[in-house]
Amino acid sequence: MFNSFSSADACKLLADGAQLVDVRTAAEFSRGALPNAISLPLQGIMNANNVIDKDKAIILYCLSGARSATAKNYLVQMGFDEVHDLGSFKNYNCE
């Protein structure tokens, strides 16, 4: 599936205060995450209201893009407005 949300898009949103959310497992997160990322494992996505700010843009990522795509669908259904899927953390290329 083609993802039109690019690393450049992510960098711009992050510079404007967006939240970078890692939906990998806690163990994966503890082994290394992107700068300033918030850990919200897909298994706990229903707790999103307690972890991330609904009023700020959200950028999701995982290992391959599968979990972040699933997380995006859940968050949109939960009423989060500005949710973007970066896909794999390998797509991240911000300074």
User: For this structure, is 62 an active site residue?
Assistant: yes
Contacts of residue 4, Cβ cutoff 8 Å, sequence gap at least 6: none
What is the edge-to-edge ordering of all strands in the sheet holding 19-22?
Answer: 38-39, 19-22, 58-62, 83-88
Residues in the chain: 95
The active-site residue out of 14, 48, 57, 62 is 62
Q: Which residues are the active-site residues?
A: 62
